[in-house]
Structure 1
Amino acid sequence: MIQFNFESTTSIGKHEPYNNVAAHEELKSMMSRSDRLNIFFDIDKDGYEVVKVESTCVKRFSYQLNDKSADWLLKYLSTGKSEDFEVEPSEVQKSDQANGNEYRKNMLKLFVESKVNMQFTPEFRDRRGQLTAVANFNFGNIFFFVNRDEDIVSYLQEKGLIH
């Protein structure tokens, strides 16, 4: 019979910090190829605001955001320009929002207030209890998946975006 010893393989309590610099380099490589990016907002397990990024060539990964990296990403989505001057991917701070759904909802409201053209999935076609929206750009899409609640529904109805 085989004896297993897992003591040397477990690292309880040890947690390596996320390598956001490597994620930045991967994202920059995707941009240099002019990949169309699919982006989803979230809060990662360490409490940082992230976008989850994927393309037809690269499987989904997380990229931790700060103000400059978010501007860089939006500039690429709109123009295809990938220059990352002054973007420091290692300079991120934990979010004051612990709930990923609240963060996604706030980002959706920010895009609505910024007058970004959005498409909303009709409620009868959406997943039960979910609200789905997409912001389309020349070099990618931003997808919003939020829990459908009275707050977001009434907000979007007031803006005339959903019925």
Structure 2
Amino acid sequence: MNILLLNERTVVLVDTHVNDEPSAEQIAEFTVMAAQEMARMNLAPKVALLSRSNFGSGSSASGAKMRRALELVREIAPELEIDGEMHGDCALDEALRMRILPSSSLKGEANLLVCPNVDSGNIAYNLLKTAAGGNVAVGPFLLGANAPVHILTSSSTVRRIINMAAMTVLDANRV
């Protein structure tokens, strides 16, 4: 899980570093864990399951996987505000999403972007991080371990290292 504090919004992305080709079940599991972690940080999760198809418009394997993950998340965490599968622009642009699917259960801009595989997650994260400029990147965090795990990549800035140290202190106080 990675967090980007951008000028106009906060965006969380999963999975950016670990699961090459996660199953629908794995996606559902880490979606719920990421939403719980966001709630712990006082961020209300609004989840978009991303794909190259919008709400069944394509027949790709990743689209089918994300639709199945949506079903599973709705069973596991029915209170979670979530929809998908959708393009990234639909996730961040409510007006566009409502034109395509007026019955979407996701209101406003998504702030938890769930990618179908690690390649798309890592690419999306790095593009957003770089294109937005002047942002703050926090993470990645490994979800689902018995104890908190924080990862520093080779591109970590001093600011990111300080942010991760602060998150480690918060986690140490929680454990």
Structure-2-length-normalised TM-score: 0.31
Greater relative CO (CA pairs within 8 A, separation 6+) = 2
Q: Which has the higher helix share?
A: 2
Structure number with bigger Rg = 1
